[in-house]
Amino acid sequence: VRPRETSGGGRWRWVPRAIRRSLEARARDLEMMVRQLRGAIPDPVVRSGVRPPRVAGGARPDAAPRRLLEITAVARETPDSVVLHLRDPAGGSVEHRPGEFLTLCVEVGGREVRRAYSICTPPGDPRGIAVGIKRVPGGLVSNHLNDTAEAGQRVAVLGPSGSFVVTPAAEASRTYLLIAGGSGITPMMAIVGAVLEGEADSRLVLLYGNRRADAVMFREALGQLAQDHPGRLVVRHVLEEPDDLLEHGLGRLDAETLGRELDALGVADGPDVEWLICGPEGMMRSVRAALEGRGVPRARLREERFQSPGERIARVTAPQEVEVRSGADRVRFRVAPGLTVLEAGLAAGAPLPFSCTLGGCGACRVRLVEGDVHLDEPHCLSAEELAAGMVLTCVGRPASPVVLEVAS
């Protein structure tokens, strides 16, 4: 759309669509800020019992836009999980890369909470996109969605985002070693579909751990995919409790079980092997240790942690002093245990940019000048950005006195 001047002179009569969208996104961010000021703030801060931050920063124009998607169908995948099929009600497509997640902004008990859910359908799937949500005992959003999600409802989302992605290349010939536990199967479903479709010479081996057979998500779909692609996809279920109906390995996906399963499958590491791991933290720790014990370098393991905000808050550290530099300005504040740099910084009036507050959009990226900052996983920084000393304040927790520089 070309801008025109009105007879009043100097005013835009038609606003280009990109700018209009950006303004709409900004309006929604402002609405969110007002809600924050009223106390309806994102869940992590509420739960930590900390006063809502004063709003000092703001979304940059390039911050991740929010959009509304409509739930077109709700499929009960297992007694403890649902799959929500989503579409853009305006008819647009939702582009994503295999392995990415959406951040769902859900209203529970009158306040908005945000949780990440991996897209479980591959790009280009004729069924559109879907997310699979498994109940977490005592969990706020997973139970809410399992209990109340219905076709026709609309849900605000951020993203897709994430770095746990694969990029199929038609000429590549690789082996993908996928190790999933529980709901950690969701990004693997998208990856499996995309590789089967886009890399004809590659094969996939999926080791999938669950407690019981009735907790296995996508059991039928996986069986069908393996049957349709003999020799290209091997699915091996590992259950903690025996079950007559499912051919499987037995045990927790710990070092011993994993070693046994990999030996039985004849899997060995090599330059063309891609290791991808996703599941509960405990399982991932054991898998990492087991693979390192088998000589797979840590740098070659790609992981997605399904950590919840509640669990992050439980990891308390000592308070630390932080200085934020922006041009000639200096703002100093203290970050209490359980808070991120962004939460404490906004409360102190530091000029910190932000948008998604979940590590997914990069809007809060700053440069680490001095000190140590631990980043919650997952986050969207690339290896190059990390090497260049960039950190995200929304998922960053200082582990020492820290100096940060905001790009001016």
Q: Would you tell me which residues interact with ligand FAD (CB under 6 A)?
A: 47, 101, 115-118, 131-134, 136-143, 162, 183, 186, 304, 306-311, 313-314, 378
Spatial CB neighbours of 407, under 8 Å, sequence gap ≥ 6: 365, 366, 367
**CB of residue 98 to ligand FAD, shortest distance in Å:** 13
394 binds ligand FES (CB under 6 A): yes
In whole angstroms, the minimum distance from the beta carbon of 354 to ligand FES comes to 4
Tokens of 284: 């991932």
CB of 279 to ligand FES, least distance (A): 23
Beta carbon of residue 305, minimum distance to ligand FAD (angstroms, whole number): 6
- As measured in angstroms, the least distance from the Cβ of 93 to ligand FAD is 21
Side by side, the strands of the sheet bearing 402-405 are: 329-335, 320-326, 402-405, 365-370, 390-392
Q: Are 190 and 276 in contact (CB under 8 A)?
A: no
Angle at Cα 98 formed by Cα 387 and Cα 116, nearest 5°? 75
Contact residue for ligand FES among 133, 301, 392, 404 (CB under 6 A): 392
Residue 351, token pair as written in the block = 């000029």
Cβ distance 322 to 334 under 8 Å? yes
Stretch that binds ligand FES, among 10-18, 103-111, 352-360, 368-376 (CB under 6 A): 352-360
Site for ligand FES in 363-382 (CB under 6 A): 363-364
Would you give the end-to-end CA distance of the chain in angstroms?
31
Of 189-197, 272-280, 354-362, 399-407, the window that binds ligand FES (rule: CB under 6 A) is 354-362
In the list 182, 359, 378, 398, the residue contacting ligand FES (rule: CB under 6 A) is 359
- 20: phi then psi, degrees, rounded to nearest 5: -60, -45
Alpha carbon distance 162, 378 (integer Å): 7
In a 13 Å sphere around the CA of 396, the CA atoms on its Cβ side amount to: 32
Would you count residue 340 as binding ligand FES (CB under 6 A)?
no
Segment near ligand FES (CB under 6 A), from 36-44, 73-81, 117-125, 351-359?
Answer: 351-359
Amino acid at 371: G
Interacting span for ligand FES (CB under 6 A) from 37-45, 101-109, 274-282, 362-370: 362-370
Which structure tokens are listed for 306? 């399904």
Residue 354 binding target from ligand FES, ligand FAD, none, CB below 5 to 8 Å by type? ligand FES
Residues forming contacts to ligand FES in the complex (CB under 6 A) are 354-357, 359-364, 392, 394
